[in-house]
């Protein structure tokens, strides 16, 4: 929870805060890049079931993209121009965390999406309800993670070596995600101001990253990576 | 229209015809393979708009897949076992029509989907209404073709060379699609029997392929490939 708890009367960040468009745009490009990463990673799937599971996850990202596109259009933004500032950071994140095995791609889909969702949901608590509703809608669980949890936890139960590898992989995903998030914020003033307001102050941001790290550890536990 | 026109009282093919499960399964794997073909081809897009357009088309395929999965489950079939017999033919079709340019991939998305839709919709007229409804739902226009028509017709207006290349490409797509359709039918007795019943007899099948060829020519005209 941010500086502004959900039961406050007035959210800290008004619906017309200039960072809101940037927030939606960052989320929108996140959906597009996640779509293509999932579609590409699915080629490593040893089974048709795995291919279908990743394709379903990818399709859910596109439905979220459409929600964000409508929200941006309603605010007078062109989604393509708005997304441009976030292309490099998100492409860099995916390039620096390119999975080399099917299990790595499953862990990335689950853990990477989880880290992003934590970050945006922390901020949502301080947003005007109309804005927070869009953020929560596009970050809602799509019910496709069961497949990932089942596949990964079964694999790591039967191989300590695989488990050690994937634990390191999870740590790397967290590190790269935080690096890229900080890089984005350093470049976009309105968005940075929004995140600082949502967190209260700079020490609030540090506390937020601590909470994200805890939730990351919880997700790793769910996958059997502990 | 098949041997059995829509205003007949009893459709030629009952809901429990053993070919219906095969028909749904062929359609289901068609959606999965179209999803991955679109996602892969989108990498050639010179713009973010093109990437988003193909991702949206791909996502629509997955929503159709889910409809078919439910229909197969309701009939007691496991979607993955049911799809297996169609994997090779559809993978071969995509391998033999691998686009080498962005425009080729757009023409393939539009023309290839159109040929498949014509084939299944011809058959739908003879199916029990409960079965026909599923077929028509998954073949409904998803509204994403405008982008393709706009991009391709603009490109061929400004280059005769591109136009000639793409006209040959369209002809090749039709040829490969018919080859693979015949290959599938030769292997699956129940489905073949269903298609022959829908067409009336073997000369009905020939007439059906003639109509498909006419509609293919109409689509090429829409793209400016005439």
Q: What is the pLDDT of residues A32-83, one digit of tens each?
A: 999 999 999 998 999 999 999 999 999 999 999 999 999 999 999 999 999 9
Over range A6-24, report the average pLDDT: 83
Length of chain B counted residue by residue = 226
Question: How does residue A1 score in pLDDT terms, banded at 50, 70 and 90?
Answer: very low
Q: Chain B: nearest CA to A88, how far in angstroms?
A: 13
SS3 state at B139: helix
Q: What is the pLDDT of residue A141?
A: 73
Does pLDDT of A189 surpass 70?
yes
Q: Nearest to residue A78, comparing CAs of A93, A91, A68, A89?
A: A68
Please name the residues between 3 and 42 in chain A that touch chain B, using a CB distance below 8 Å.
Answer: 32, 35-36, 39-40, 42
Mutation target vs A (from B62, B69, B81; most A CBs, 10 A cutoff): B62
**What does the CA dihedral B185, B190, B192, B196 come to, rounded to 10 degrees?**
-170
Q: Chain B: nearest CA to A91, how far in angstroms?
A: 13
Over range B192-206, report the average pLDDT: 90
Chain B residues whose CB is inside 8 A of the A81 CB are none
Chain B residues whose CB is inside 8 A of the A83 CB are 48
Q: A153-182: b or e for each residue (b if 16 or more CB lie within 10 Å)? A: eebbeeeeebbebbbebbeebbebbbebbe
Q: What is the pLDDT of residue A9?
A: 57
Encode pLDDT of B93-138 as tens digits: 999 999 999 999 999 999 998 999 999 999 999 999 999 999 999 9
Please give the mean pLDDT across all residues of chain B. 91
Question: How does residue B4 score in pLDDT terms, banded at 50, 70 and 90?
Answer: very low
Chain A residue closest to B63 (CA)?
A59
Judged by CB atoms closer than 8 Å, whether chains meet at B49 and A83 is answered as: no
SS3 state at B13: strand
Tell me whether residue A14 is exposed, middle or buried, using C-beta atoms within 10 angstroms of its C-beta: 0 to 12, 13 to 18, 19 or more. exposed
Over range B143-161, report the average pLDDT: 92
Chain A residues whose CB is inside 8 A of the B86 CB are none
Does pLDDT of A225 surpass 60?
yes
Judged by average pLDDT, the poorest of A63-67, A90-94, B141-145 is: B141-145
Q: What is the pLDDT of residue B2?
A: 46
For A107-199, strand residue ranges (E) read none
Q: B98-136: b or e for each residue (b if 16 or more CB lie within 10 Å)? A: ebeebbbbbbbbbbbbbbbbbbbbbbbbbbbeebbebbb
Residues 6+ apart with CB under 8 A from A7: none
Q: Where in chain B are the domains?
A: 19-222
**Candidates 1.10.1660.10, 1.20.1260.10, 3.40.50.460, 3.40.50.720; CATH matching A19-222:** 1.20.1260.10
Mutation target vs A (from B48, B50, B57, B70; most A CBs, 10 A cutoff): B48
Closest partner CB to A48 (pick from B58, B63, B80): B80
């Amino acid at each position: 929870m941010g500086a502004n708890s959900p039961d406050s009367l007035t959210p800290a960040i008004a619906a017309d805060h200039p960072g809101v468009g940037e927030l939606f745009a960052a989320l929108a490009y996140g959906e597009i890049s996640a779509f293509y990463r999932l579609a590409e990673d699915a080629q490593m799937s040893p089974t048709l079931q795995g291919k279908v599971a990743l394709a379903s996850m990818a399709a859910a990202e596109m439905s979220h993209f459409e929600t964000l596109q409508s929200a941006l259009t309603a605010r007078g933004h062109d989604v393509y121009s708005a997304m441009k500032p976030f292309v490099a950071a998100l492409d860099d994140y995916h390039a620096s965390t390119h999975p080399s095995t099917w299990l790595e791609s499953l862990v990335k889909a689950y853990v990477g999406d989880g880290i992003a969702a934590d970050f945006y949901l922390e901020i949502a608590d301080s947003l005007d309800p109309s804005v927070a509703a869009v953020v929560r809608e596009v970050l809602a669980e799509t019910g496709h993670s069961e497949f990932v949890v089942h596949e990964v936890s079964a694999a790591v139960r039967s191989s300590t070596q695989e488990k050690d590898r994937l634990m390191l992989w999870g740590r790397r995903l967290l590190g790269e995600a935080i690096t890229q998030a900080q890089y984005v914020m350093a470049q976009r003033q309105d968005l940075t101001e929004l995140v600082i307001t949502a967190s209260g102050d700079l020490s609030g941001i540090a506390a937020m990253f601590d909470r994200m790290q805890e939730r990351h550890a919880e997700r790793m536990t769910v996958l059997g990576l502990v």
